[in-house]
Amino acid sequence: MVEAIRKSLATPSGLLRRYSFDDGFGETTSAFTICSLWMVEALARIGKEEDARTLFELVLSHANDVGLLSEDIDPTTGELWGNFPQTYSHFGVINAAFALDAAAR
């Protein structure tokens, strides 16, 4: 199930979109930061620690110069879009870090 979700929602860069259908405004192209971080948690909890760490590092690589993340990330340019800074994204970083730590034990 995790891999099916990943395959369905992944952008070419590996970040995840919120959904993959036309919502009346067009098809979503940006990555929804919290979804990528939820995938980090899921991968860590099913024993795919290396994939989880790679995705975690990819998300963190898009933070600005003081470590803040937005709601969305343009998967092509890495530009931060949407609400900024985004609380959900930062809670996602904390929860993903805890999941990765637990997986490493």
Max Cα-Cα span within the chain: 45
Q: Which ranges of 10-86 would DSSP assign to H, the alpha helix?
A: 33-45, 49-60
Give the mean pLDDT of 91-97: 98
What pLDDT score was predicted for residue 27? 73
Cβ within 8 Å of residue 25, ≥6 positions away: none
**Residue 102, pLDDT above cutoff 90:** yes
- Structural contact between residues 99 and 83, judged by C-beta atoms closer than 8 angstroms: no
CA distance 15 to 31: 6
What does pLDDT average to over the chain? 93
Evaluate if residue 78 carries a pLDDT over 90. Answer: yes
3-state secondary structure of 32: strand
Please write the tens of the pLDDT for every residue from 5-44. Answer: 999 999 999 999 998 776 776 677 899 999 999 999 999 9
